[in-house]
Amino acid sequence: MFCQITFLSFLLSVMVFPASLFADSLARIEVHPQQISLQSARDRVQLVITAISKNGATQDITHDVSFRLLNPAIAKIENSVVLPRSNGKTDISIQFGQLEAILPVTVSDQSEPDPVRFQNETLAILTKQGCNAGSCHGSPQGKGGFSLSLFAYDSQIDKKALVREGFNRRTNIYDPDESLMLKKPLLRIPHVGGKRLRKADITYQILHQWIYEGAGDDPENAPRCTSIAVYPQPERILRMPHVQQQMRVLANFDDGSQRDITHLATFDTSHDEIATVDAMGQVTGTAQGQSAITVRYLEFLESVYFTVVDARKDSAWPDIPENNYVDQFVNQRLQLLKILPATTCADTIFLRRTFLDLTGLLPTAERAREFLKNTEKDKREVLIDQLLASDEFAHFQALRLADLLRINAEVMTDGRAKLFADWIALAVKSNMPFDDFARKIITARGDSHTVPATNYFMALPQTTDIAEATSQIFMGSRIQCAKCHNHPFENWTQNDYYSISAVFSRIQRSETKITISPEGDLQHPHTGQVMKPWGSETSASTTDKEPAEVDPRADFASWLTAHDNPYFARVEVNRIWKSLFGQGIVEPVDDFRSSNPPSNVALLDALADDFVQNDYDRKHIFRVVCNSQTYQRSTISAREITAVNTLFSHANVRLLTAEQLSDAIGYVTETLRPASEIPQWVDQMQGELAAVKAELQDQQLTWEETLHTRMQQAAYWHGGWWSTRPFIATDQSAAHHDIFPPEEQLDGQPADLPWDDGEMWSFEKDWEPGQTHTYEEKRPAAVYAYHPIFANRKATLRLSFVADDGMKFWHDGQVVYDRMQITDDGQNSRDIELHPGLNHLFFKASNGGGAFHFTVKMDYVKATEAAAPQLVDIAGHAAAILHTPRPQRSEIQFQLLKEYHFAVDGRIPALRKRLNLGGRFDYATQRPYPEQTDFLKAFGQPKRASACVCERVGDPTLEQALQMLNGTVMTDKVNRSVKRYLKLDDQEVVEELYLAAFSRFPQPVERNSATAHLSRSGKPREASIRDLVWAIMNTQEFMFQH
């Protein structure tokens, strides 16, 4: 009898597995777990059986072995799961070919009750079957009138919904088969969610059992899960054709017990084109690559990384040059997957690639020529060092950081955007260690006009916004989901979310200041528990300080920048990697989670380690990566083009970013001067500025006289308008009555007003009397306006007001009109007597919230007065000075009049604006906050509304094609390029153009056809040059980086 069974099983195994596959190589089989104790009638153990070859390679044979129970009355085996039968002990013999393993089994407590646990089983099953997913009954409104808590975060809601709601509609404890909650997912009655259960499923049987036992809640002392363990861990390689792997999940409970919960856990795959996983934890590899299998049970989550290796005959691995450790780790991975890397790219490609990646700019034709002719062996290394030391590198990297830190001149007004951006550029240029950089930002406090880094908080109005942005930028973690529920694919729980938020809850902000309040604890919105700020446990600094002095951000920064922090260094080196390859090792770069594995764990770890060892020196990482053979590979892969180049076997062809493209067009057309000429250019502009100033100074007297004469001839003239931005108040009454800073100045001399684009007042050159002024501000607020009138004789002026709420009006410092609510009742106008000389008119419009408009109409009461000539283009204070005879003027008045003269001459403000940005005004890659133009937006310029890298979109669009073919930017620049090329002969034009656009010399055939086009008769040479420039820039070679 025994003989027969053995023979039969042997026969079976031989039939299923050709002995040739294993006979030579297999050394032993390993059974997990090594012994089994089944302690209740419902206990079960999933076996995982591995064959290990002589060279250590593993192969899952769980479903391929034959089992033999020595005493079949004790236990049984179904689909490699061991189930109890009766109390006792026995052994299981596991056979695979010639190999055998013995597994001892103990079965006990078979008559002890083991009721189904509501939380640990019923709810876990609802999650596993997808019932409480966000798109099904877990959505806030539920589905079909049946609503569960999302991923079972609230067991009481679920208990009520399943058992009580609708008069116990969904469960039938007398006859569980008749329960709606089973009949629907079995599709015994129509169910929009489709078939979710089969009667043969163990999950169905458990739900059934739970209902049979009375559909009850757990007793108070029911064991709570404390952790889960997954086998195998942490990774497995599946070599085709052996692409199966059974997983096993074990839960540890707070009473010290353990249970196999493989049947209750939820399995997901990160890349289902590479590996799939079924409900019982059986993984199947389908294509070469890497995928994370994520195991969820209640709020616990573990991931196992699977690499699927294609079986290929050709496993020859040629000698591939390795420049440094980057190549070593990249090649290890490629060798495992038998992917041959591409060869080293040509100098032209390297030059253009490195320039674009490091500085955002193309090399100039001159620079390209020089590099290509250089025959030094280390010229690439030298170039990398030169670029890393350049200003252009600093400014381009600052742009990238400014994207992340959301520098926005509309939020950070009064020059604060520039302040913050300059600080970032300086940090990059001086190569500030990145941990210092992060710490300075996270712990910044003070006035945002003087402490640049405080501006980080200006773009983030809420405490939770800060927590979310900071996590995304420095931890590469999107924790937003955990605001409302434990994240289904990440270890971040709701507690973690509010604990991170608590770090920032003491931040207090006034209009422009960031201070830390001694109070401001954050409570968990559900439990009401006061949250301990994240990182405070790891630091001793809090204990010996007074609570008032504690800034939880400091502890958080220490935790974040600690050498062993699992996120900080990895996230930053990955961002650097992404900027150089167009593809992160973790992708997206701000979505680090265990269910989203790095494509090369060892590489990421090595880079992060190097970063930490070198004191978070970003330039060092740039240097290491750029010098690697991996970075210098060509875009043409050696053997095959894989759809996604996640292992860096070759370089990626990438569309230039919006800013790169804009500047590249500028370079080729020479509408943009090379950045290397910036210092020279700045000098030139300063010269121009001085010249204009000198010219105006020379004309000063003539200018004054002309103006003065015109003023004498006028009966009265109106100076322009000045206004303030809205001042926010608690309500309209406060807005109307409260004295805001400028109100004290209302009876002062207008000359005291800072008249240019200073802090408080701005000159409104487009305003006219009778015009309606509209404000976006929806909160209660007040605005001020100032308007001077100079009269040469007396006159009566009627002012009529229209406003949503109140208006106040001063004439020479006296309040002459004051109404909280203006209505159309005949009381909304006031006559004033203008006296000869300067009349100061101040207005205040107050608003209670919502729509905010006001209008001031001015009419001369006598028609003759109205007919008199008026001047509206002289500022009041300037006019007042002009009225003062020169000998009586003060030094300040002279100065002010001179400044006014400069300001009304358009050239000076334009020059100043350019100089203000250090001569980088025309560049897109060299400015921290380039203007949002249609061209840049079309190519994916981010709006900076969030910290997400997804803001910068890279997908090709029709609009991009239109912009490149005949957009206004393109047309204009192509036209202007003629100036540069017209002075060269045909050969030179073609060579210059190719070097500028492609960083290479034209090939003979290109040279011939291009020169032929230029010398074609019957067309003006300008037009031919335009054609050629346009055509070159519309090639893929130009628009893409190779």
Partner 1 sequence: MNTKAPLFFTLILSWMVPPIQANEVSFSRHVAPILLQRCAGCHGPKKAEGGFRLHTFQFLTTLADSGNPLIVSGQPERSELFRRLVESSVDLRMPQEDDALGSAEIDVIRQWILSGAKFDGEDEAVAYRSQLPPRNHPTAPEFYRTTIPIYALAFSPNGTQLAVGGYHEINVWDSASGQLTKRIGNLPQRIQEIAWLDEQQLVVSGGTPGEYGEVCVADISSQSRIRVIGTFTDIVMSIGLNSTKDQVVAGCADQRSRVYSVTDGKLLWEAQVHSDWVTGAKFSSDDRFVATSSRDQTVKVHEAKEGTLYTTYNGHRKQLGEFTGRFAVYDVCFHPETGEALSLGEGEAIRIWNPEKAHVENGDASDMEGRFFKKGHTRFVRFGAESPMFHIAVVLSDILISGRSGVVKSFDFSTGEPKQTFQGHDDWIFCVDGNMDATRIAAGSFNGTVIIWDALTGETCSQFKAAPGLEK
Which tokens belong to 648? 């860096």
| Cα–Cα distance, 471 to 779 (Å, whole number) | 31
106/155 with CB nearer partner 1: 155
54/188 with CB nearer partner 1: 188
193/918 with CB nearer partner 1: 193
165/381 with CB nearer partner 1: 165
Residues contributing to the site for partner 1 (CB under 8 A): 145, 164, 166-170, 172-175, 178, 180, 183-184, 186-192, 194-195, 198-199, 214
Nearest CA to 358 among 335, 328, 391? 391
Minimum Å gap between C-beta 710 and partner 1 is 59
170/718 with CB nearer partner 1: 170
Which tokens belong to 291? 């995928």
Minimum Å gap between C-beta 203 and partner 1 is 14
Nearest CA to 396 among 660, 189, 92? 660
Q: Which residues contact 187 (CB under 8 A, 6 or more apart)?
A: 194, 195
192/548 with CB nearer partner 1: 192
Query: Can you state the angle between helices 325-336 and 601-613, rounded to 10 degrees?
Result: 170
Minimum Å gap between C-beta 153 and partner 1 is 22
187/481 with CB nearer partner 1: 187
Taking the CA of residue 1037 as centre, how many other CA atoms within 13 Å lie in the half-sphere pointing to its CB? 13
Nearest CA to 39 among 114, 139, 123, 115? 114
Minimum Å gap between C-beta 191 and partner 1 is 6
Minimum Å gap between C-beta 157 and partner 1 is 14
189/958 with CB nearer partner 1: 189
Exposed e or buried b per residue across 495-509, where buried means at least 16 C-beta atoms within 10 angstroms of its C-beta: bbbbbbbbbbbbbee
| Cα–Cα distance, 10 to 637 (Å, whole number) | 47
194/461 with CB nearer partner 1: 194
Query: Cα–Cα–Cα angle for 554, 555, 556, nearest 5°?
Result: 90
Nearest CA to 575 among 566, 593, 587, 564? 587
Minimum Å gap between C-beta 144 and partner 1 is 10
Minimum Å gap between C-beta 261 and partner 1 is 24
105/180 with CB nearer partner 1: 180
Specify whether the CB–CB gap between 222 and 119 falls below 8 A.
Answer: yes
Exposed e or buried b per residue across 243-269, where buried means at least 16 C-beta atoms within 10 angstroms of its C-beta: bbbbbbbbbbbeeeeebbbbbbbbbbb
Instruction: Say which DSSP state 143 is in.
Output: B
Minimum Å gap between C-beta 195 and partner 1 is 6
164/526 with CB nearer partner 1: 164
Specify whether the CB–CB gap between 124 and 264 falls below 8 A.
Answer: yes
Query: Cα–Cα–Cα angle for 528, 529, 531, nearest 5°?
Result: 125
Exposed e or buried b per residue across 885-919, where buried means at least 16 C-beta atoms within 10 angstroms of its C-beta: eeeeeeeebeebbeebbbbbbeebeebeebbebbb
200/540 with CB nearer partner 1: 200
Minimum Å gap between C-beta 188 and partner 1 is 6
Minimum Å gap between C-beta 179 and partner 1 is 9
Which tokens belong to 872? 């509206």
Q: Is the dihedral of CA 623, 627, 629, 635 positive or negative?
A: positive
Minimum Å gap between C-beta 194 and partner 1 is 6
144/956 with CB nearer partner 1: 144
| Residue 428: alpha-carbon gap to chain centroid | 20
| Position 943, amino acid | K
| Cα–Cα distance, 1010 to 994 (Å, whole number) | 10
Minimum Å gap between C-beta 187 and partner 1 is 3
Q: Which residues contact 10 (CB under 8 A, 6 or more apart)?
A: 95
Tell me which residue has tokens 């027969």.
4
By three-state DSSP, how is residue 396 classified? helix
Minimum Å gap between C-beta 148 and partner 1 is 17
